[in-house]
Amino acid sequence: MISPVSAMPRSAHRHRPEATPYVDLTRAEWSALRDKTPQPLTAEEVEKLRGLGDVIDLDEVRDIYLPLSRLLNLYVGATDGLRGALNTFLGEKGSQSGTPFVIGVAGSVAVGKSTVARLLQALLSRWPEHPRVELVTTDGFLLPTKELQARGLMSRKGFPESYDRRALTRFVADIKAGKDEVTAPVYSHLIYDIVPGERLTVRRPDILIVEGLNVLQPALPGSDGRTRVGLADYFDFSVYVDASGEDIERWYLERFKKLRQTAFHNPSSYFRKYTQVSEQEAVDYARMLWRTINKPNLTENIAPTRGRATLQLRKGPDHTVQRLRLRKL
Ligand SMILES: Nc1ncnc2c1ncn2[C@@H]1O[C@H](COP(=O)(O)OP(=O)(O)OP(=O)(O)O)[C@@H](O)[C@H]1O
Ligand SMILES: CC(C)(CO)[C@@H](O)C(=O)NCCC(=O)O
């Protein structure tokens, strides 16, 4: 019989370290774990994958993303082994082959998660075991502007209720179930809306990366009050991209300034009017968007999901990853 905790000698209580499901690593400790994983990208390729305002270079790829690519390659192999065990058990009763490995990438607006997701796609597709890596962002499942306006949600864009969560979960479930072709709507930052009539098609990838603010949020209970299977329940691995609130706000404002000099000049840009006002007015507007929408969303909905990620990447003020926290239990 297992003895109850209260029956243990007092000293055993006192000296037991607090149980934590994570292992914390410095940049140097993590970097050493890349082992002999070769660097498959050139400086030009990294430049193409870099988002506006991000600073990822070959050193960052080597130190942070090669160990991650190696870890994920090991995870994919081990998950295939588990799938084989399940298939042996199930036999004719529903066994499945070619189930894609699904990775979620979460974090605030402007933290750089789309760069992380693109880098992972490029690195993971170089492994011969899983060359077909698809990337989708949850932006495509935002409700169209007309619908957001009708529901009074224009200033809640990015909050859980601004997405068609059921369609998003179904989309990932269908890909994981091995459907030949699964499609999703497409979002444009330029027009700040869903692109009418456009769809993205995903065809049986080896790995699917799902990037978005909301990917680790728990599912809403159904109308019968029961818990549902949510998006994150389909993940085999997840990454939370983290940084201090002040740093992210600064990155958001700087990106807005850069976009004001570039993309906002496009006649179709939703933000075009901010090219015609002073920089100060434009920055004040961006700060208002940050403080009234993106920051509360970070605090209330995104940051609380951090502990659910398999891996947390903590960036410093210059965008480089300084600390990592990996789930080990
Ligand atoms: N208003 C905009 N007009 C044109 N391009 C934009 C606009 N906002 C963002 N982008 C571009 O789209 C890319 C992805 O933006 P997105 O909003 O997905 O990033 P994010 O979620 O804010 O944060 P992250 O930087 O983590 O991806 C940005 O790196 C930027 O280059
Ligand atoms: C589309 C999202 C929700 C996420 O990418 C975000 O970029 C956004 O539009 N947030 C609303 C406030 C703003 O314009 O920054």
pLDDT tens string 174-193: 999 999 999 999 999 999 99
How are the residues of the chain apportioned to helix, strand and coil, as percentages rounded to the nearest 5? Answer: 45, 20, 35
Q: What is the pLDDT of residues 125-172, one digit of tens each?
A: 999 999 999 999 999 999 999 999 999 999 999 999 999 999 999 999
Position 6 pLDDT exceeds 70: no
ipTM score here? 0.90
> Which pLDDT does position 244 carry in this prediction?
98
Please check whether residue 230 is in contact with residue 301, taking contact to mean a CB–CB distance below 8 angstroms: no
Separation of CA 98 and ligand 2 centre (Å): 35
The three-class DSSP label of residue 233 is: helix
Q: Which residues line ligand 1 (CB under 6 A)?
A: 51-52, 107, 109-114, 189-190, 259, 263, 271
Which atom, in ligand 2's list, is nearest to the CA of 213?
Answer: 4
Distance of CA 10 to the CA centre of its chain: 44
What is the residue type of 96? Q
Average pLDDT on 265-284 reads: 97
The answer to whether 61 is annotated as binding is: no
The answer to whether 181 and 203 are in contact (CB under 8 A) is: yes
Average pLDDT over residues 298-312: 98
Cα four-point dihedral sign 184, 189, 194, 195:
negative
Half-sphere exposure of 165 (CA within 13 A, CB side): 20
Expressed in angstroms and rounded, the spacing between residue 189 Cα and the centre of ligand 1 is: 7
The pLDDT mean for the chain works out to 94
22-79+97-327: CATH number:
3.40.50.300
pLDDT for position 19: 87
Atom of ligand 1 nearest to the CA of 51: 29
Question: Does 111 or 35 have the greater pLDDT score?
Answer: 111
Residue 3 has pLDDT above 50, yes or no: no
- Report how far residue 99's alpha carbon sits from residue 206's, in angstroms, rounded to the nearest whole number: 7
Which atom belonging to ligand 2 lies closest to the Cα atom of 110? Answer: 7
**Residues composing the chain:** 329
152 is an annotated ligand-binding site residue: no
Query: Are 294 and 110 in contact, with CB atoms under 8 Å apart?
Result: yes
For the record, the structure tokens of 94 come out as 């529903």
Q: Which of 101, 107, 64, 68 is nearest to 82 (CA)?
A: 101
**pLDDT on residue 10:** 54
Compute CA distances 7 → 4, 11, 14, 122, 195, whole Å: 5, 12, 14, 54, 64
Amino acid at 184: A
Quick one: pLDDT band at residue 55, thresholds 50, 70, 90?
Answer: confident
- What is the maximal distance between C-alpha atoms in the chain? 76
